[in-house]
Structure 1
Amino acid sequence: MTASAVGMSDPRASGQRAHGKQTINEGDQSSMDMKKISAACATAAALAALCVPGAAFAADGTLTLNAGDGSTLAGHSFTVYLIANYNDVVKDGANVKSVSASSPDAAADAWVKAALNKNGVTYNTSEGRNAAEQLLRLQTDSNTLRKVAGTLQSTAAASKVTAVKTNQTSTTGSLNLTLPEGYYLVVDAQGIPILVSTTIGGATRMTNGQTLGSTQIKTNVTKIDKKIKSVDGTWKDSAAATNGETRDFKATFTVPNKLAVDTITLEDHMTGITYIDGSFHASVDGTDITNQFGAIGKDKITAAAGKTQTDGTGFKVTSLQSLVDTYQGKQVTVTYQGKVVNASKANKAINQIILTSNWLPSVIPPDVPTPNPGTDETPVPTYDVDLKKISAADGSRTIQGAKFKIHNDSLNQWYTWDSASNQWTFGTDESKATEFSTDAQGVINFTRLGAGTYTVKETQVPTGYFTFVKPSFTIKVTDDGHVTIAGKDQPGLTGKVTNADANASTPTAVVKNIDNITQLPQTGATTMAIMIVGAFAIILVATATGWGAYRIRHEDMGDGPIAA
């Protein structure tokens, strides 16, 4: 006997069939319009069912499990159970219009029947219904179907049913399975159970547009990957930034299965960083989808116990349902900016994003803990470099009052220090840059610097030292805190430092001042030029002094004025 065709109007369906002829939903089935059938047809169908030996003579179909764009199935392990066989298939061109469904064996029939009964689903066997056929009649996106799937997963071990395939894994973003044509329960060790259909007679679609033979997994954790843009323009897991600097951040995630998730919520907990209003943007394949998210709310983070770091301000936003419905399986890229407001060597700034899947009711089986949200963290360290000024004549004597300015060559910016906020500000006008002076120990501390290349130039030489000899040096800081110091102008007056670890200690640039021309190191054309210029200046001074004495002497002797 045949049942009437069942319509599949919901494109979220994961596979459906019935005992007798019916349309399959790729998961559940929406409306069904039962026809009256004759006793003769019922008898013929019943006899045909008795003659079909389950899945033994079923044709093979295919089933592809997908992780979604930018994701992988690594870490997942799938077990596949046959729920129903397909018998009569009615094609409509390349698509499937309807099929007949039956339980593969008595154990599977009892297993599915018990799961239906537990969740309040009944059916009338006198109308030609059986457990497998009734399961396919359930609405695809209904709470009932999700509850039944959870019950089937939790009772599979005790049901005496045998899995068709076990421990199926993949290290890529998809897994292709060849299976007898039918309707299956797919249990994921790292996800939520799925009810899904294979291809039927090679067809990958029902006449109403629903997909056959493929589905996106319902992963229990939606992973997210967070990056920060380094000063060199590359995206990294961590990058050093100057206190006061604004940096770009990027997070990517795959939109979860719309049969499992309603919306997603993004939270970025910022410590020592402040979110820049209006900087949030989202895209898929280069197309802007920022309008798929609601209003951006502020997310205030307080300093941890025992920490001196001031509060950071992040953001929190929830997507619209249309994001999941429209972009299921697509990779979303979210970009935004944050200003580093209170990072230090002792307390790096922290930027932690949290992605929460807002699950549809009854998606999580009752015996499975609610999955934790996906998280990723982007530390933003900052480093210190010291300058120590000493006498070239006496290396043990430190020099107070030598003045310096610092320039970021990577950004072409002069640095100005605000001691009240412990932040730097930046500009192209050297006259507005802070002029630092060495203290009684001859030291200047350049604090809270990000990655990049800097030039530190002496702007004023202390009294008693040659004013025309003003050394400068470069500082190169990497994202992981390695510092290299080398002389630039008058290189021989700056001690060289190679790849000092700024995480362990504070690298120090030792710079000398000279009070005698003989203290200039004779290394390089620049030094020689200074020596020549200095010597020439001394000669000029001496000559001018001697010439003046000669003129006075001759005028005093009455020789008359000197010819010009």
Structure 2
Amino acid sequence: MNMKKISAACATAAALAALCVPGAAFAADGTLTLNAGDGSTLAGHSFTVYKLATYNDVVKDGANVKSVSAKHPDQTTGDWIAAALKANGVNYDLAQGRNAAEQLLRLQNSNTLRKVAGTLQSTAAASKVTAVKTNQTSTTSSLNLTLPEGYYLVVDAQGIPILVSTTIGGATRMSNGQVLGSTQIKTNVTKIDKKIKSVDGTWKDSAAATNGETRDFKATFTVPNKLAVDTITLEDHMTGITYIDGSFHASVDGTDITNQFGAIGKDKITAAAGKTQTDGTGFKVTSLQSLVDTYQGKQVTVTYQGKVVNASKANKAINQIILTSNWLPAVIPPDVPTPNPGTDETPVPTYDVNLKKISAADGSRTIQGAKFKIHNDSLNQWYTWDSASNQWTFGTDESKATEFSTNAQGVINFTRLGAGTYTVKETQVPTGYFTFVKPSFTIKITDDGHVTIAGKDQPGLTGTVTNADANASTPTAVVKNIDNITQLPQTGATTMAIMIVGAFAIILVATATGWGAYRIRHENMGDGPIAA
């Protein structure tokens, strides 16, 4: 190769190298990731991106960026930024070579930055600036954007505006620790999801509970952006439910963070007009600022308990949680209404089931005075009714369970029952009916109020009910008493055994009566006592 070719090759290499040095006119692409945080998504959000600054004079410090200079990409953008800075009292010296974009990058006061971001969003349309990306959406927890390296305004249709930088030369952090190329969105509503633990142990949006029963509740939310919010406040408005003192706990990834919340205050719901009972007492608590600072973007799980105290078929208990983000000053742009808090509601219904006692011989004849007890098989608890409070209490001692008696219409109303499987057993048969035939039956109630009734002991004496809608009416178990052995349904070995036992009992009674008469007669005849 001659010297001219070598010289030309060297000149070309030098020119190419010049394009790669800091301060080059052609900026590389960087990346920007918008995150919703753990347990949340960007569904419903739509992002518009405006470029505010192009970088030059980048100085690296190992893997990090030590310093960088900036310039607006065009004069229209420069004028837009300058007007926003001026509107918020930020001045800079043009004589020293400063420009609006660089001054924006140099701002340290977070309150001022929030104000400027709000002003930029409100004046974007009037300024005639052109967005570099519009209608950017994602249904997952993050959105990855490829953009020319620079500083950007991200406007969120469902959130608060963000000032953020892309990665710079592949670096994801400044030497001072500032993150590059990634940010958590400043959503304008911190969503919260509320659940109740059903009797089967699963978490549901709604679950039926017995009046007097204590249930577990769970609420989850993603900690908001610390540049937008300093604390959050949780309020649980309970109607027909009372918060159990000391049951509030909070965790992140299994780690207890209950100490990140302040004192638990009571939140009492006033009874509605005409009601004498207390409708319920919830709670209210505000987090410490350290919760947001430490756990930004993490999902918090809050658990607590509430006792159902005043629910009925007509008025289900309500458990509504409200999460309020306590916004930092100037986060909300001037022309944007203050966002509503995030809410979620967990209805807690309760249902009624009737028992009707009739004669097997005459189905139109109702029976008064038949007595029954009710047992919750799902919880292995006998039920005791307190008519003063309209609540049940529970225990394993059957002798303490309430013994209900059919009224003149032959009816017992088992009221305010939650989901589960119950056994109702006859404990006393009215006079005139076979005392050794005591039917029992099962009641199965689902969380949405479907009731199934089936005979258990002497199943043929209880009418079957399949998936009756307890929301629409009160399902009824029709149970028969017999006064003649022939009235027993022909249902196989069980009935035969009852017939045999019953017949044997009659024989024993008759035999005992005859034997007693024979013994008395002989004693009266002077034959002396008969050896047993």
Gaps of 5+ in 1: 1-31
Q: What is the CA-CA distance between 1:525 and the residue it aligns to?
A: 2.2
State the distance in 2 between where 1:562 and 1:339 align.
66
Q: What is the CA-CA distance between 1:45 and the residue it aligns to?
A: 20
Change beyond 3 A, Cα 1:563–1:142? closer
State the distance in 2 between where 1:374 and 1:196 align.
26
State the distance in 1 between where 2:174 and 2:4 align.
20
Q: What is the CA-CA distance between 1:90 and the residue it aligns to?
A: 1.1
State the distance in 2 between where 1:39 and 1:305 align.
95
Q: What is the CA-CA distance between 1:271 and the residue it aligns to?
A: 0.5
Scaled by the length of structure 1, the TM-score of the pair is 0.88
Per-residue CA deviation, residues 396-443 of structure 1 (Å, 9 max, x unaligned), is 000000011111111111111000000001111111111100000000
Which has the higher mean CA deviation after the structures are superposed, 228-237 or 541-550? 541-550
Change beyond 3 A, Cα 1:226–1:38? farther
State the distance in 2 between where 1:107 and 1:43 align.
36
Change beyond 3 A, Cα 1:327–1:563? closer
Q: What is the CA-CA distance between 1:527 and the residue it aligns to?
A: 1.8
Q: What is the CA-CA distance between 1:537 and the residue it aligns to?
A: 1.1
State the distance in 2 between where 1:69 and 1:38 align.
58
The residue matched to 1:201 in structure 2 has which SS? coil
Q: What is the CA-CA distance between 1:144 and the residue it aligns to?
A: 1.2
Change beyond 3 A, Cα 1:499–1:409? same
Per-residue CA deviation, residues 324-351 of structure 1 (Å, 9 max, x unaligned), is 0000000000001111010000000000
Change beyond 3 A, Cα 1:359–1:552? closer
State the distance in 2 between where 1:80 and 1:538 align.
93
State the distance in 2 between where 1:34 and 1:256 align.
65
State the distance in 2 between where 1:326 and 1:33 align.
66
Change beyond 3 A, Cα 1:81–1:34? farther
Per-residue CA deviation, residues 203-247 of structure 1 (Å, 9 max, x unaligned), is 111112211000000000000000000011100000000000111
Contact 1:89 1:100 (8 Å CA) reproduced: yes
Change beyond 3 A, Cα 1:268–1:458? same
Per-residue CA deviation, residues 148-207 of structure 1 (Å, 9 max, x unaligned), is 100100111111111000000000000000000000000000000000000000111111
Contact 1:401 1:439 (8 Å CA) reproduced: yes
Per-residue CA deviation, residues 54-95 of structure 1 (Å, 9 max, x unaligned), is 998221000000000000000000000000001121111111
Change beyond 3 A, Cα 1:435–1:288? same
The residue matched to 1:354 in structure 2 has which SS? strand
Change beyond 3 A, Cα 1:143–1:75? same
Once the two structures are aligned, what percentage of the paired residues are identical? 94
Per-residue CA deviation, residues 263-300 of structure 1 (Å, 9 max, x unaligned), is 00000000011111111110000001001000000001
Which has the higher mean CA deviation after the structures are superposed, 551-560 or 402-411? 551-560
State the distance in 1 between where 2:285 and 2:184 align.
25
State the distance in 2 between where 1:290 and 1:459 align.
49
Change beyond 3 A, Cα 1:443–1:41? farther
Q: What is the CA-CA distance between 1:34 and the residue it aligns to?
A: 47
Per-residue CA deviation, residues 108-141 of structure 1 (Å, 9 max, x unaligned), is 10110111111111110111100000001112x5
Which has the higher mean CA deviation after the structures are superposed, 152-161 or 548-557? 548-557
Which has the higher mean CA deviation after the structures are superposed, 380-389 or 295-304? 295-304
Match of 1:81 among 31, 50, 53: 50
State the distance in 1 between where 2:467 and 2:268 align.
37
Contact 1:54 1:105 (8 Å CA) reproduced: no
State the distance in 1 between where 2:37 and 2:239 align.
32
State the distance in 1 between where 2:123 and 2:520 align.
118
State the distance in 2 between where 1:423 and 1:562 align.
59
Contact 2:23 2:56 (8 Å CA) reproduced: no
The residue matched to 1:37 in structure 2 has which SS? helix
Contact 1:385 1:507 (8 Å CA) reproduced: yes
Over the aligned positions, Cα root-mean-square deviation in angstroms equals: 6.2
The residue matched to 1:54 in structure 2 has which SS? coil
Contact 1:66 1:214 (8 Å CA) reproduced: yes
State the distance in 1 between where 2:521 and 2:491 align.
43
Q: Is 1:102 aligned to 2:68, yes or no?
A: no
The residue matched to 2:127 in structure 1 has which SS? coil
Change beyond 3 A, Cα 1:561–1:303? closer
The residue matched to 1:129 in structure 2 has which SS? coil
Contact 1:55 1:180 (8 Å CA) reproduced: no
State the distance in 2 between where 1:41 and 1:149 align.
48
Scaled by the length of structure 2, the TM-score of the pair is 0.93
Which has the higher mean CA deviation after the structures are superposed, 149-158 or 539-548? 539-548
Q: What is the CA-CA distance between 1:491 and the residue it aligns to?
A: 0.6
Contact 1:401 1:462 (8 Å CA) reproduced: yes
Per-residue CA deviation, residues 1-55 of structure 1 (Å, 9 max, x unaligned), is xxxxxxxxxxxxxxxxxxxxxxxxxxxxxxx999999999999999999999999
State the distance in 1 between where 2:316 and 2:284 align.
22
Which has the higher mean CA deviation after the structures are superposed, 299-308 or 367-376? 299-308
Contact 2:235 2:285 (8 Å CA) reproduced: yes
Contact 2:34 2:144 (8 Å CA) reproduced: yes
Contact 1:404 1:436 (8 Å CA) reproduced: yes
Q: Is 1:52 aligned to 2:21, yes or no?
A: yes
Gaps of 5+ in 2: none
Q: What is the CA-CA distance between 1:544 and the residue it aligns to?
A: 3.3
Contact 2:22 2:57 (8 Å CA) reproduced: no
Contact 1:348 1:381 (8 Å CA) reproduced: yes
State the distance in 2 between where 1:41 and 1:78 align.
46
Q: How does 1:39-188 map to 2 (within 5 A)?
A: 57-139=26-108, 142-188=110-156
Contact 2:22 2:59 (8 Å CA) reproduced: no
Contact 2:279 2:309 (8 Å CA) reproduced: no
Contact 1:76 1:169 (8 Å CA) reproduced: yes
The residue matched to 2:83 in structure 1 has which SS? helix
State the distance in 1 between where 2:201 and 2:11 align.
72
Q: How does 1:111-510 map to 2 (within 5 A)?
A: 111-139=80-108, 142-305=110-273, 310-510=278-478
The residue matched to 1:407 in structure 2 has which SS? strand
The residue matched to 2:125 in structure 1 has which SS? coil
Q: What is the CA-CA distance between 1:541 and the residue it aligns to?
A: 2.3
Change beyond 3 A, Cα 1:550–1:79? same
Contact 1:55 1:85 (8 Å CA) reproduced: no
Which has the higher mean CA deviation after the structures are superposed, 295-304 or 336-345? 295-304
State the distance in 1 between where 2:7 and 2:129 align.
35
Q: What is the CA-CA distance between 1:554 and the residue it aligns to?
A: 7.0
Contact 2:449 2:469 (8 Å CA) reproduced: yes
State the distance in 2 between where 1:368 and 1:162 align.
21
State the distance in 1 between where 2:24 and 2:165 align.
14
Which has the higher mean CA deviation after the structures are superposed, 32-41 or 116-125? 32-41
